[in-house]
């Protein structure tokens, strides 16, 4: 079994909203500015944070999750990154011990030292107690130290440092500042391409980090190649053309899903439901999630695209529509202001944006083809969709998860699927009509 060495850190926190992404991105940008090759991963199902981390590091940022991906794939991703990287950074999700498996489980499994971010605008010496609890809650966890964030003054920083147990380093203290905040919206941080001076913002954070203990590289760790990998010698999606919606409204796409389709031989064609007036000549369509609610007028007025999608649906060809993609293929979507816009209308159903709440969490899609792991994260509700064929399966909670609908060749739900979690199921889904169409074309040509 091959092995390589590379320094690595796991950036976690005591809860969400502590500044993990900002600090991880700033740290990646700082070391990149020093000429290092930095690879960054995000724990859990997240589309937005990886975009920011990728912008900061100048290299691909992807998911790393024990439940969604499995141990072997996580190990292989880390090994492949370590072969070329000078530093690996992994951003956690929520709090250090939240979830099953948690960020702590991932860090301990691979022996990666943890740095915990504690936002402390309204506490001082209590930070020491919180740090002690995070470290001692699981003594076997490699714990590198803490970062105190959003402090009010130099004296505030001194009080936090004085409160710390001697065996817990304070790697950095950051004063509350607009320079240490990245812009947000209802589902998370704003995507980098939406802001002109995003790189300037990242460089500013990197300059602040340069003056802290985070500027020093951690000790190198050993990363091993996994002993078992899914074989891609056969290409069951060869001759299958898959159209993928990708534009300002639809962008929640795991890079691993794209690699999965390509590695199995699929021919990918991207199109824009916002700007294009027709669908490429394809056998299947994947409508991923995104922010259709931010672009309703353009989507609604593109009648040519809506007609093309209805025709594709009526032909019985395979369509996978996830979350925002599902909202788009229903009859209408209503904004928080009560404005209702007609959508593509492939199936019955009406979407409504919600000011708060919604659903998030890991679930498996219980498809007829097999169980595919994924997650839900939305701030909307959908009504009058008909009878579901199945429901998502939560990791531990017994309540049914998201409803899954199937009409003709269309499969749709709020769930975002991680294709590599079940190779055979996803191949069967995309070849249900696609392979038959491709074979028919070959026969007609012959």
Which string of DSSP letters, residue by residue, matches 201-266?
HHHHHHHHHTTSGGGSPPPEEEEE--S-----SS-TTTT-EEEEE-SSSEEE--HHHHHHHHHTTP
Cα–Cα distance, 273 to 165 (Å, whole number)? 56
> In the prediction, which pLDDT does 197 show?
78
Q: State the pLDDT at residue 384.
A: 78
H/E stretch holding 23: helix 20-33
**How many Å apart are CA 418 and CA 364, to the nearest integer?**
9
- 111 φ/ψ sector (left φ>0, alpha ψ -120 to 50, else beta): left
User: Phi, psi at residue 247, to the nearest 5°?
Assistant: -165, -160
User: Among all residues, which ones are annotated catalytic?
Assistant: 323
CA 39 – CA 329 distance, rounded (Å)? 36
Dist. CA 126–CA 52, nearest whole Å:
31
Question: What is residue 26's three-state secondary structure?
Answer: helix
Domains defined along the chain, listed by start: 3-224 (3.40.50.300), 241-445 (3.40.50.880)
The rounded distance, in Å, linking the Cα atoms of 321 and 347 is 12
Question: Which residues are registered as beta bridge partners of 10?
Answer: 90, 114
According to the model, what pLDDT value does residue 323 have? 94
For the chain (446 residues), the mean pLDDT of every run of 10, in chain order, is 94 94 95 97 87 92 93 96 97 94 97 97 96 97 97 96 96 87 58 71 93 93 81 82 97 94 97 97 97 95 98 97 96 94 95 79 94 90 88 89 94 96 96 49 34
Q: How far apart are CA 184 and CA 189, in angstroms?
A: 4
- What integer pLDDT is reported at residue 446 of this predicted model? 32
Asked if residues 346 and 401 have their Cβ atoms less than 8 Å apart, the reply is no
What are the contacts of 341-346 at 24+ separation with CB within 8 A? 341/296, 341/297, 341/299, 341/300, 342/300, 343/299, 343/300, 343/306, 344/273, 344/305, 344/306, 344/309, 344/310, 345/306, 345/310, 346/309, 346/310, 346/313, 346/319, 346/407, 346/410
Indicate the SS3 state at residue 400: coil
The CA angle 249-251-254, to the nearest 5 degrees, is: 160
Q: Work out the number of other CB atoms within 10 angstroms of the CB of residue 215.
A: 15
């Amino acid at each position: 079994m091959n092995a390589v060495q590379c320094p690595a850190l796991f950036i976690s926190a005591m809860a969400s909203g502590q500044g993990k992404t900002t600090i991880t991105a700033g740290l990646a940008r700082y070391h990149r500015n020093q000429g290092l090759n930095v690879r960054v991963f995000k724990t859990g199902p997240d589309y937005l944070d990886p975009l920011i981390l990728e912008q900061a590091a100048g290299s691909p940022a992807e998911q790393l999750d024990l439940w969604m991906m499995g141990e072997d794939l996580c190990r292989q991703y880390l090994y492949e990154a370590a072969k070329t990287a000078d530093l690996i950074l992994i951003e956690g999700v929520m709090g250090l011990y939240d979830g099953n498996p948690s960020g702590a489980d991932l860090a301990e499994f691979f022996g990666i030292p943890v740095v915990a971010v504690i936002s402390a605008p309204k506490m001082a010496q209590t930070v020491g107690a919180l740090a002690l609890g995070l470290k001692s809650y699981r003594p076997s966890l490699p714990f590198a130290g803490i970062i105190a964030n959003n402090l009010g003054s130099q004296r505030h920083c001194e009080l936090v440092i004085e409160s710390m147990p001697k065996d817990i380093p304070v790697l950095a203290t950051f004063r509350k500042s607009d320079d240490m905040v990245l812009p947000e919206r209802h589902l998370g941080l704003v995507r980098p391409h939406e802001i002109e001076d995003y790189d300037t913002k990242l460089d500013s954070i990197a300059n602040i980090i340069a003056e802290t203990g985070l500027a020093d590289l951690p000790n190198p760790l050993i990363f091993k190649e996994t002993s078992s990998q899914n074989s891609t010698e056969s290409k069951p999606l060869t001759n299958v053309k898959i159209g993928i919606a990708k534009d300002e409204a639809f962008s929640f796409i795991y890079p691993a899903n794209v690699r999965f389709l390509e590695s199995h031989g699929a021919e990918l064609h991207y199109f824009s439901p916002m700007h294009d007036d027709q669908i490429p000549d394809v056998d299947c369509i994947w409508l991923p999630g995104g922010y259709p609610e931010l672009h309703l007028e353009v989507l609604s007025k593109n009648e040519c695209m809506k007609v093309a999608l209805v025709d594709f649906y009526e032909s019985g060809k395979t369509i996978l529509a996830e979350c925002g993609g599902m909202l788009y293929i229903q009859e209408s979507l209503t904004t928080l202001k009560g404005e209702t816009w007609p959508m593509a209308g492939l199936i019955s159903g009406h979407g409504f944006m919600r000011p708060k709440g919604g659903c998030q969490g890991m679930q498996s899609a219980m498809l007829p083809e097999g169980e595919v792991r994924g997650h839900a994260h939305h701030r909307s509700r959908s009504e009058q969709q008909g009878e579901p064929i199945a429901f998502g399966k939560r990791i531990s909670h017994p309540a049914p998860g998201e409803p899954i609908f199937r009409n003709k060749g269309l499969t749709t739900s709020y769930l975002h699927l991680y294709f590599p979690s079940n190779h055979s199921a996803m191949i069967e889904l995309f070849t249900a009509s696609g392979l038959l169409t491709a074979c028919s074309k070959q026969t007609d040509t012959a």
